[in-house]
Structure 1
């Protein structure tokens, strides 16, 4: 999978707000008190564990916003495998600027590398099977684009980015509409020729009712393994089949073996452990 970084114009508002939060009303009073204004500093972002890197552009931008003259050398681009001791990036520049940006840079780099590393663990767990691992919209507010990028760095795939890029009919939509068929009829009437329709079903009966209406994707919510196998027999080739609910590292391979096309995992973004990275003097 070819991974391209997110453009700075998308990242910059997030990084600026994060720096503004940390700098507060007076800036870095510690650095101002103990470090000479023109002091220089050379440092390295180093991995302290094995995993997958993600978020290096966030670190670069945090530093460059504090000092545009800072030199930032990327050694391990996003999606690179790393082990403990690996240098991810090298930085050299004004010491006060580097220390002011250090925590924002590390927070984002460590969090996003954690998302990428967890995603890679899930991808490896179903190695050899055709199913894809996908994230969900269960992301941290305002960090969705970054977290979804990190999922791709780990070898996963992205579900929809928001409420506007695909129709996803869930249980509450069905309840309000008065049933699966009514919800699908309305969605078909409203959708443009480029808009896909996904329907969440929680039973085989709902799946059977939906198939004649030709949804593009069927989300099989909390199906047992036996039910997933039956759903694949009924609908394979008629719609993309996405399994969701009850997915963890102990269950994901058995779910993939049923023949579903996609397995969505909210934990990739809402439960990833921070990846241990430090900024050490070179």
Structure 2
């Protein structure tokens, strides 16, 4: 995460939450100082130490943050993640936004690490998708990397992905690929989503850079991978959950993308105590 982009996001989030002022903290406190600790309430993988530091620096230059856990490191229940010292009013004003974000990001990092462990195949990368909450994509994808995963496209301008609706509206994979080749430069990779052997053969003939086996069983993924030239990157996606993920072990694909890592992950329980 770049500091400038992170500070811009945090400013927007604080503006939403604080509005014209924290009526509670401003009514109760003046210049009192306090020490707070951010504590893990359950085990998991931590993410976003810089978010704590950058967030509190935005609220007050008098706040000192000492982080004790690095991104991607495991947490045990009761571990102290960070210590915060400074004006109690600003510490409490920033509490909810900062906790919400590090809980969310640590939840994604934890889920990603769990998926990597369950798959247990160093030759296949676990990837995210674009199924992120608008405004949080940079944070979500950073959290996936902190959990040992890899990033798929960041946005529509990051690469070409010809999906089922593109193919249906265009008439065929060949037509869609031909139009794309005329429109994009040689530096842009083109991925094609397929579901059948016929579509696979079309995508190979059209010289796709990446082929996604969408909503395919582990057996079909292995079959399709065996039919795909080694120079084409392969990806499995759709219908893959934590419950059936291990069935794709040693399937031969380069990547498995999992939407649930970001669209329905459970936040890690983390609290701030003064």
Q: Partners in 2 of 1:276 and 1:61 — Cα distance? A: 21
Q: Partners in 1 of 2:145 and 2:221 — Cα distance? A: 26
Post-superposition CA distance 1:120-163 (Å, at most 9, x none): 11011112441110000000101101100000000000001000
Say yes or no: does 1:132 pair with 2:132.
Answer: no
Post-superposition CA distance 1:215-266 (Å, at most 9, x none): 1100111012221111011005031110011111111111233221110000
**Alpha carbons of structure 1 residues 146 and 226: separation in structure 2 relative to 1, 3 Å:** same
Q: Partners in 2 of 1:211 and 1:74 — Cα distance? A: 49
Say yes or no: does 1:9 pair with 2:4.
Answer: yes
Q: Partners in 1 of 2:195 and 2:119 — Cα distance? A: 24
Say yes or no: does 1:20 pair with 2:15.
Answer: yes
Post-superposition CA distance 1:99-123 (Å, at most 9, x none): 0001011000100000100111101
Q: Is the 8 A contact 2:119 2:248 kept in 1?
A: no
Alignment partner, residue 168 of structure 1: 161
State the TM-score, normalizing by the size of structure 2: 0.97
Q: Is the 8 A contact 1:63 1:102 kept in 2?
A: no
Q: Partners in 1 of 2:151 and 2:198 — Cα distance? A: 28
Say yes or no: does 1:275 pair with 2:265.
Answer: no
Q: Partners in 1 of 2:101 and 2:211 — Cα distance? A: 34
Unaligned runs of 5+ in 1: 1-5
Say yes or no: does 1:82 pair with 2:75.
Answer: yes
Alignment partner, residue 3 of structure 1: none
SS in 1 for 2:249: helix
- TM-aligned CA deviation for residue 43 of structure 1: 0.9
Alignment partner, residue 48 of structure 1: 41
Q: Partners in 2 of 1:39 and 1:175 — Cα distance? A: 64
Q: What's the Cα RMSD here?
A: 1.1
State the TM-score, normalizing by the size of structure 1: 0.94
Unaligned runs of 5+ in 2: none
- How many residue pairs end up in the alignment? 274
